[in-house]
Amino acid sequence: MQQLIYFFQKFKHFLFFLLLQLIALTLTFNNLNFHKSKYVNSANAITGGMYNQVSSISDYFDLKKTNTALLEDNTRLRNLLQQKTAMSFASDSIVIDTVKYHQKYTFSNAKIINNNYVNAFNFLTIDKGRNDGLEKEMAVVNGKGVIGITDNASSNYTRVQSILNKNSRLNARLKNGYFGTLKWNGLDYNVVQLTDIPRQAPVKIGDTIETGGKSTIFPEGILIGTVIEINNDNAVDNAINVKLFNDMSNIGPVYVIKNLEKKEIQFLENPINE
C-alpha cells in the first residue's frame, strides 16, 4: 500500500498529464465521427455568438460581392421560371390540381459565420439553429452549388460538415446519368474527387457534375463542378478530379434544404420495430 502511495506521489504530474491527454484524444476521435461530437463544437451559444458578432462586422466588406452573387442567382432562377411558363403554354390549359401538387423540399436561408477550408476535416458554422427548424443531416447549398451537410444543431447555431472534409460522402452524377460518390482527398480546396464511376461511362474534361438525388439529403440536380482531370490508369476507385463551381474560401449566404419525405423514406429503407 505504501509503495502504491509512493508511486502516486512520484508520478502525480505524469498521471494528471496522461488523464488530460486521454480526454483530448477522446474528443479528437469523437470529432471525426459524424455528429458524435456533441460538446466540443463551434455551434454552442458562446462561440456561435462571438462568431456572429465578428461576422456582422466583416460582412460589410463583402457586401458588393454578396450582391453580385445574389443577382446571378436571381437571374438563373428567373430564367428557369421562363422555361417553366414556356413549357406550360405547350398545353392549351393549365389544370390546377391540389392532389398533384406535391412539395418535397423546403428551403430556408442562413449565413455562414465561420468558414474553414485549409484543414483535412473542415467544418462551417451557420447562424440558424434548432429554433429555426434545422436539425442534423440537412443539405446546405448556395446559388453556385453544394456546400455541405448539417451536423450538430444548437438552439441558435448549426455546425456544417463541409464537402471539404475527408469524411464527406455525397451522391453525385454526370449529366448523362452515370453516378458515383463524391469525396475529398484533403489537398486542394478547389478540387474534389468523384469516385466509383463505371468504366464504360463516357467522361470528358469540362463535363458538369451535379448531385444525384440518390440520398435523402440532397435534391436531384444541384450543381457541383466541372471535370478537370481524368485518371486513365487502372486505379481501383477510378477517381475523377472535379473543380467546384463554388469558391469555398469565400462564401456568405446559403440555403438549407429540408427533405419533407425523409422520415418516410428512412422508415421504408430500415423497417425496424418488427
Partner 1 sequence: MNKTIYFGLLFVFLVFLQVFVLNNMLFLGYVNPYLYIIFVFLYPLKKSRFTFLLLSFLLGLSIDFFSDSGGIHAFSILTIAYLRLFFIKVFFRKYEIDYPFFSLNLEPFGKSFNYVVTLTVIHHFILFSLINFSFQNISHVILNTLYSSVFTLVLYFLSVYIFSKKQ
- How many other CB atoms sit within 10 Å of the CB of residue 20? 10
- The site map against partner 1 for 136-165 (x = CB under 8 A) is -----------------------x------
Q: Are 108 and 133 in contact (CB under 8 A)?
A: yes
Return d(Cα 213, Cα 102) in angstroms, integer. Answer: 17
List the grid coordinates of 127.
447562424
Q: What is the distance between the alpha carbons of residues 182 and 192, in angstroms, rounded to a whole number?
A: 7
Could you tell me if 214 and 177 are in contact, meaning their C-beta atoms sit under 8 angstroms apart?
Answer: no
25 lines the binding site for partner 1 (CB under 8 A): yes
Which residue among 7, 10, 11, 24 contacts partner 1 (CB under 8 A)?
24
Q: Whole-number minimum distance, CB 250 to partner 1, in Å?
A: 12
Among 7, 11, 40, 214, binds partner 1 (CB under 8 A): 40
* By CB under 8 A, residue 51 contacts partner 1: yes
| DSSP letter for each residue of 87-123 | HHTTSSS----TTT----EEEEEEEEEEE--SSSEEE
Q: Find the shortest distance in angstroms from Cβ 125 to partner 1.
A: 8
Residue from 8, 31, 260, 267 in contact with partner 1 (CB under 8 A)? 31
Q: Contact region for partner 1 (CB under 8 A) — 33-41, 84-92, 196-204, 227-235?
A: 33-41
The size of the interface with partner 1 (CB under 8 A), counted in residues, is 39
Smallest gap, in angstroms, from Cβ of residue 73 to partner 1?
Answer: 26
Does 66 sit near partner 1 (CB under 8 A)? Answer: no
Q: Which grid coordinates are listed for 123?
A: 467544418
The CA distance from 73 to 121, in Å, is 29
What residues have CB less than 8 Å from 213, skipping those under 6 apart? 171, 219, 220, 221
Q: Which residues bind partner 1 (CB under 8 A)?
A: 13-14, 16-17, 20-21, 23-32, 37, 40-42, 44, 46-47, 50-51, 54, 114, 116, 118-123, 125, 159, 166, 186-187
